[in-house]
């Protein structure tokens, strides 16, 4: 029986993933994934939400708020370098026309009237770090961290080598209890290399009232409304995921599962 938290892509072209606060039964995070052929266009108004467009793969001509931003994008695989992205504030609009086969992620969260400008976020601007040790090493690219301006959105990419774990030791951010912990909803958009592989993700709470274990495949989206959410990549298959987080305060303060916290010192 499939988990209610796991969403398979809806076809192979057009909008293949669609997460909204309404259909996820939460408040903040939205996520769409579009797969376009050369010449195809997708556009939208942001209304009361801010948006981060992430060119997961491919090149496209991008416009926002009446300004042509030009041709953006360079990588043809999410495992090959850093992405190009565009931030668009609330009460704006954007348009993306594919120049190659394109995978476009549309990450959204409530705008708070910050009045921020449209901005292109190029690969050279992105911080990249290696987290963990041994088989817990993973590679993190911060697209829209809390150190960069936005109203609600936090956006990050992670690549986990085959045989490694990530989002591990298990941690959670489901209590609005700052400065100890922040409440953040989160989506994971998963990709595998080679694409026929699979990985595992568990989402669970301390009392196990939520406890789901999923075999995630290429293109799956997992929603994390609460609880811990570790991932494990199987031998021979690298795991990429794009995370979108948002909540009442734009800060990432998490707590590790106490029984596994010893791993931080091991």
Residue-wise pLDDT tens digits, 177-187: 999 999 999 99
What is the pLDDT, as a whole number, of residue 2? 75
Residue 22: in which H helix or E strand, if any? helix 21-24
Alpha carbon separation from 61 to 55, 69, 195 (Å, rounded): 11, 7, 27
Domain 9-264: top CATH class: mainly beta
Helix, strand, coil share (%) of the chain residues, nearest 5:
5, 50, 45
Q: Which residue has the tokens 């590679």?
A: 139
- Cβ(212)–Cβ(5) below 8 Å: yes
The model's pLDDT over 85-143, given as tens digits with 9 standing for 90+, comes to 999 999 999 999 999 999 999 999 999 998 899 999 999 999 999 999 999 999 999 99
pLDDT at 114: 82
pLDDT computed for residue 102 by the predictor: 98
What does the mean pLDDT of the chain come to? 97
Interacting residues of 11 by C-beta distance below 8 A, sequence separation 6+: none
What does the block give as tokens for 145? 């961290």
CA atoms of 136 and 171, how far apart (whole Å): 14
The closest of 188, 183, 179 to 156, measured between CA atoms, is: 188
In sequence order, what are the residues at sequence separation of 6 or more whose Cβ sits closer than 8 angstroms to the Cβ of residue 94? 43, 44, 46, 51, 53, 62, 63, 64, 65, 86, 88
Alpha-carbon span 5 to 223, nearest angstrom: 5
For residue 266, name the pLDDT band (cuts at 50, 70, 90).
confident
| Cα–Cα distance for residue pair 153/244, rounded to 1 Å | 7
pLDDT digits (tens, 9 = 90+) for 133-170: 999 999 999 999 999 999 999 999 999 999 999 999 99
Give mean pLDDT, residues 221-248: 98
- The band of 265, judged by pLDDT with boundaries at 50, 70 and 90, is confident
| Non-local CB neighbours of 265 within 8 Å, separated by 6+ positions | none
Q: Residue 207's CB: how many other CB atoms inside 10 A?
A: 8
Tokens of 212: 């789901």
Q: Is residue 108 classed exposed, middle or buried when 0-12, 13-18 and 19+ CB atoms within 10 A define those classes? A: buried
pLDDT in tens, 12-61: 999 999 999 999 999 999 999 999 999 999 999 999 999 999 999 999 99
For residue 1, what pLDDT is reported? 64
Sequence-distant (6+) residues with CB within 8 A of 61 are: 68, 70, 71, 72, 96, 97, 99
3-state SS class at 135: helix
What is the distance of C-alpha 266 from the center of its chain? 29
86 and 53 in contact (C-beta within 8 Å)?
yes
């Amino acid at each position: 029986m499939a988990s209610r938290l796991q969403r398979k892509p809806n076809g192979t072209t057009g909008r293949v993933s669609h997460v909204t606060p309404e259909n996820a039964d939460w408040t903040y995070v939205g996520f769409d994934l579009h797969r376009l052929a050369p010449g195809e266009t997708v556009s939208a108004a942001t209304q009361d939400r801010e948006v981060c467009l992430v060119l997961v793969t491919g090149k496209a001509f991008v416009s926002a708020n009446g300004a042509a931003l030009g041709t953006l994008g360079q990588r043809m695989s999410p495992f090959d370098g850093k992405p190009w992205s565009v931030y668009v504030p609330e009460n704006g609009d954007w348009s993306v026309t594919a120049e190659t086969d394109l995978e476009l992620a549309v990450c959204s969260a409530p705008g708070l009237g910050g009045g921020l400008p449209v901005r292109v976020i190029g690969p050279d601007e992105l911080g990249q770090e290696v987290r963990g040790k041994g088989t817990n090493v993973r590679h993190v690219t911060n697209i829209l961290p809390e150190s960069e301006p936005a109203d609600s959105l936090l956006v990050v990419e992670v690549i986990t080598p085959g045989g490694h774990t990530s989002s591990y030791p298990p941690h959670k951010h489901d209590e609005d209890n700052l400065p100890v912990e922040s409440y953040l909803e989160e989506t994971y958009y998963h990709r595998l290399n080679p694409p026929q592989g699979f990985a595992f993700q568990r989402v669970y709470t301390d009392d196990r009232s939520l406890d789901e274990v999923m075999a995630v495949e290429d293109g799956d989206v997992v929603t994390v409304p609460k609880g811990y959410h570790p991932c494990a990549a199987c031998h021979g298959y690298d795991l990429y995921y794009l995370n979108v987080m948002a909540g009442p305060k734009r800060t990432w303060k998490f707590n590790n599962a106490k029984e596994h916290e010893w791993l931080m010192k091991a």
